[in-house]
A and B are shown apart, each in its own frame.
Chain A
């Protein structure tokens, strides 16, 4: 077997914030009726988290669950466990109108950390990233310049950004430019 490698293989950049590609992250897209108890139990078994409410991200390290839309969740699991977790989930959901798919290799994940992390992302997304509007525990699907991206905060100074793997290089270049030394705006 060939060895799986993430899109940019842990590339990183230090500017006004640190931008790094996180490496491989197991991700399962789960679609179905989010009020379904069977679905909630499948999520709990896979991640230990409860069903997220609207725009909620319940993430601890590389395990968690994010609310993507009214009928879609993003389930995060360690990359090595994704096949096993997916099989367990598919088994649990066999009698339910739901769909679980492994999308790990279709995505790239970045971490932006530092006191000005909000500014770096704020330059790229049409989203209010002030501390009053966006806090850890929330997820926002939006865009990074011209490509789709979703992000949440791990703590007050750290963002994690998910985009399509095919756009990983573009997204990394964007983040690097947004994090150039001397480019602080001082808004947030």
Chain B
């Protein structure tokens, strides 16, 4: 059972209170972008065995979207953070580095 701490209401919410929102930190390529960029934005997703960043919504709760950094292999949660950011905050990166030295995920490491 996955338990994530909602950074907005401070509740340790378990999986059944949450709704998964897919991969985090996608940059939108809309009108004006090339076909390749739009294709990648629409279809290309990470599927890592290890460190992963995801969006979650506290659906049966405060209703807010937030980000979570976790390990897909062990279900270990490194931390959750605000949705109002385009990259993981430094303390989350540090927490991951402490447990998984040398991790890389898309452009982040």
Residues of A at the B interface (CB closer than 8 Å) are 54-55, 68-70, 72, 126, 140-143, 148
Contacts and interface: CB of A to CB of B under 8 A. Distances in A.
**Chain A residues touching B, majority SS:** strand
Interface in B1-35: 8-11, 13-14, 16-17
A55 B11 contact: yes
Interface stretch (B43-51, B56-64, B69-77, B88-96): B56-64
A54 B63 CA distance: 14
Interface centre among A54, A70, A126, A143 (most CB of B within 10 A): A126
Contacts of A148: 60
A154 B14 CA distance: 25
A54 B17 contact: no
A171 to B, nearest CB: 13
A157 B3 CA distance: 28
14 contacts: A54-B9, A55-B10, A55-B11, A69-B62, A69-B64, A70-B8, A72-B62, A126-B13, A126-B14, A126-B17, A141-B61, A142-B17, A142-B60, A143-B17
Interface residues of B, number: 13
Contacts of A54: 9-10
B8 A69 contact: yes
B62 A70 contact: yes
A126 B14 CA distance: 7
A142 B9 contact: no
Given A69-B63, A70-B64, A126 B16 contact: yes
Nearest to A140: B11
Contacts of A126: 13-14, 16-17
A171 B89 CA distance: 40
Contact of A69 (B9, B14, B16): B9
